[in-house]
Amino acid sequence: TSHSNGNSDSFVKMPTIKFTKLFINGKFVDSISGKTFETIDPRTEEAITRVAEGDEEDIDLAVKAAREAFDNGPWPRLSGFDRGRIMMKFADLIDEHAEELAALDTIDAGKLFGEGKAGISQSANMLRYYAGAADKIHGEVLKMSREFHAYTLREPIGVVGHIIPWNFPTSMFLGKVSPALAAGCTMVVKPAEQTPLSALYYAHLSKLAGIPDGVLNVVTGFGPTAGAAISSHMDIDAVSFTGSTEVGREVIQAAAKSNLKTLSLELGGKSPLIIFDDADLDKAAELALLGILYNKGEVCVASSRVFVQEGIYDEFVKKLLEKKKSWTVGDPFDPKVRQGPQIDKKQFDKILSYIEHGKREGATLLTGGKPLGHNKGYYIEPTFFTDVKEDMLIAKDEIFGPVMSLMKFKTIDEAIKKANNTTYGLAAGVMTKDLNVANTVSRSIRAGIIWINCYFAFDRDLPFGGYKMSGFGRDFGLDALYKYLQVKSVVTPIFNSPW
Ligand code: ADP
């Protein structure tokens, strides 16, 4: 690994911060308490700015605005086609500001600036995809067994709460907001406290695009206060949450204790990548590297457990180390850099303590294991462990950092058994040229997405979500649209039906 610590100042592209207040009912407002909090640049460990700290009473105001917009406002009553046109305009405005938005995610989350710009436009396509679906929402005509005419309506579910994580501030925001807008819902979004900046910018652009006041509200703040106020609110009809399994449990409990709101939860993962003897070794090493290092390992589908068949194990490890040499960690504005800083001090410390734990438990540290370079910034070396046993903490817990656990296997049955030996079930990868092996593994792994000879292949039309303790419900694709709609059956007699 090389560390780009040359003149990192030359890469510090500080965008002007324009929006730091809560966005409620079409206006930027201070929090009722007047409190603000710092958002930190993980490259420098310094505050970028202060942002309004929303709490329960601010969430309540936002929900009132969303409720009014749902019950009496134009948005749910517009034709799907007209909603779609406004969403298209929103997407165009995002494209026009892609560079500035990408810079905000870089300083707030340490994301690669180069990838960010393209990523912003890809995320804007979420709006376009669901805009195209907005006028194709319809029910069915049903043939009942008796003389009735029956049909179903698909109606928007109502006021939606979106609770968003910090690792993909833009794609999570647009991935959740777009289908809900298309469905005709109104909403309150709580971005993660680590990454509030781009969400507020999207709120501003939504207003310019013509999304009516109260439809899309953004309340920045912390999880146990603003976040919990969403999951326990009596007047929110559905919550879409992405975050840790631990917090997912709290969201379920809050929903159960309040109004039984509909939930979809996209939670943690410990995804396996299984590499068979016949795999293209070069590609396998590349994908294993990317699978754990992309976005500094802060990816819920990261391939944190790599299972390699014994015949190619040694050669694979050699290739992996070779490829790692050209992987550069450093300032995410530097176009040569592949890996920026971890999101914050808490995450940085947590990853390092997992690494220490792995060493104590007897895993072999193949490479990495330390903070990197500067005395400033949350940079961690790509870290690979071999001789990892299934019951070690580093093989079981979601670390959410650049830490790979390598394990050996002999047979396909053993690989399947080991890969499934996790409480999670978000994603899996399998590398082989043998179609039977690929098919068998795909159907045997309990996970929401299986990548055969690829990894991280996502698209807006591909439903995404978890099996097991990785949660339930799907983001993206038409599945995500349907979670913001509910079905009503309508029945009427045709002739002289008895009742
Ligand atoms: P991480 O541990 O990776 O930070 P979290 O699950 O804590 O992930 O955070 C994901 C999102 O959930 C963030 O927006 C956070 O503020 C929010 N959150 C955290 N705690 C709660 C809670 N008790 N109730 C609702 N939302 C929460």
Per-residue pLDDT tens digits for 119-167: 999 999 999 999 999 999 999 999 888 888 999 999 999 999 999 999 9
Return d(Cα 226, Cα 220) in angstroms, integer.
Answer: 8
Return the pLDDT at 499.
57
Return d(Cα 252, Cα 19) in angstroms, integer.
Answer: 32
- The active-site residue, picked from 266, 298, 381, 398, is 266
Return the pLDDT at 1.
47
Ligand 1, atom nearest to 248 Cα = 6
Assess whether 266 carries a catalytic annotation: yes
Local confidence band at 5 (pLDDT 50, 70, 90 cut-offs): very low
Question: Looking at the chain, how many residues does it have?
Answer: 499
Return the pLDDT at 65.
99
Return d(Cα 453, Cα 133) in angstroms, integer.
Answer: 31
| Positive or negative: CA dihedral 120, 121, 127, 129 | negative
Return d(Cα 303, Cα 298) in angstroms, integer.
Answer: 11
Tell me how far the alpha carbon of residue 76 is from its chain's centroid.
26
Return the pLDDT at 13.
64
Ligand 1 centroid to Cα of residue 126, in Å, is: 24
Ligand 1 centroid to Cα of residue 348, in Å, is: 17
Mean pLDDT, residues 332-353 taken together: 96
Vertex 460 angle, CA 454 and 465, to 5°: 70
How many other β-carbons are positioned within 10 Å of the β-carbon of residue 424?
Answer: 26
Mean pLDDT, residues 299-316 taken together: 98
Tell me how far the alpha carbon of residue 435 is from its chain's centroid.
31
Nearest CA to ligand 1 atom 16: 223
Ligand 1 centroid to Cα of residue 414, in Å, is: 36
The set of protein residues with a Cβ atom below 6 angstroms from ligand 1 is 163-165, 190, 192-193, 222-224, 227-228, 231, 243-244, 247, 250-251
Cβ contact 110:332 at 8 Å = yes
Cβ contact 28:21 at 8 Å = yes
Nearest CA to ligand 1 atom 19: 223
Q: What is the 3-state secondary structure (H, E, C) of 31-50?
A: CCCCCEEEEEECCCCEEEEE
Mean pLDDT, residues 293-314 taken together: 98
pLDDT of residue 11 exceeding 80:
no
Return the pLDDT at 115.
86
Share of the chain above pLDDT 90, in %: 92
Report phi then psi at 345, rounded to 5.
-65, -40
ipTM for this prediction: 0.98
pLDDT of residue 324 exceeding 90:
yes
pLDDT tens profile 365-405: 999 999 986 679 999 999 999 999 999 999 999 999 999 99
Q: Of 444, 389, 451, whose CA–CA distance to 412 is shortest?
A: 444
Whether this model's pTM surpasses 0.90? yes
Which residues face 308 on adjacent strands?
275, 408
Calculate the average pLDDT of the chain. Answer: 95
Local confidence band at 494 (pLDDT 50, 70, 90 cut-offs): confident
